[in-house]
Amino acid sequence: MSVVLSAPAKLTLSLRLVGIRGDGHHLVDAEMVTIDLVDRLDVSDGDGLRVVPADGGLEVAAGGENLVARALRLVGRSAAVVVHKAIPAGAGLGGGSSDAAAILRWAGWTDVVGAAAIGADVSFCLVGGRARVTGIGEVVEPLGFTEMSFTLLTPPVGCPTADVYRRWDEMGGPTGGNGNDLEPAALDLVPDLARWRDELGDATGLCPRLAGSGSTWFVEGEYPGGGRRVVRTVAST
C-alpha cells in the first residue's frame, strides 16, 4: 500500500478572541480559507515519520508530538509517512494541522469536533474551503466559496502559537485593529515582524494583515516578486 496525500494550507482572514474556556483554551471567532500552497505526504506500509522541510523553512520535529503522529494515534493506525513540506513551519498557515487532517481523511475519520483533540486548526483543515470557525476551533460552519488571491510574505522566523497566545494574555487581551487580535501580541513577542510587515506594505501600497499567530503577512491581490508568494483559494478538501 502506497498513497500520496495532499495537505493544503489555511489562511486566517480574521481572528477575534472572544473568551477563555474553563480549561484555559481561548475561544475564537474567525474566518478561514484553504489556499493552493500544499504539503505532500507519502504514506506506505510500515512505521515511522520523516519530515522534509520546505526550501528555506524551519526544521520540523518528527517525534511523537508531531501532529501527524498524533493523528495516527487518534485513528489507531500505523504507517510510514514522509511529509514533503511546502508550507513553511511556524508561519501561521496551518501546515502541521493540514498534514494531520490529511491523515484523518486517509483513515476515513469524519468527526470534525473530535479532530480538535489533535490541534485547534485541524477541524477546519479537515473540512477546508471557506468557513466561520468558533469555539476553540472545533466548530466549523462552511461558507460559500469565493475565488480570491492573496500575496504572502513569510519572514525567516517562527511564531510559536502557544507563546503568542500567552503573550496576548500577559498584555491583558488587546484587540487587534487590523482584524486579528493576536497581531499586537505577535509583534510584542517578535518585534522584527514589523520590518517584514512594512516591506510588504511598501511593495503593495496596502496594509498587510498577520496570518493567525504569525509569522506570515498577507494582502489581498497578486503582487509577485521580492520573495513574495501569490496564492489562491481552493474549494473544500
Q: Cell 496570518 sits at which residue?
A: 211
Active site residue 163: no
55 burial via Cβ count (<10 Å: 0-12, 13-18, 19+): exposed
Q: Which amino acid is at 85?
A: K
Q: What length does the chain have?
A: 237
- C-alpha cell recorded at residue 97: 494541522
DSSP 197: H
Is-contact 205 175, C-beta < 8 A? no
Among candidate residues 39, 121, 169, 192, the one labeled active-site is 121
- C-alpha cell recorded at residue 17: 478572541
Active site residue 99: no
- C-alpha cell recorded at residue 26: 481561548
DSSP bridge pairs for 191: none
Among candidate residues 10, 39, 85, 99, the one labeled active-site is 10
Q: Which residues are catalytic?
A: 10, 121
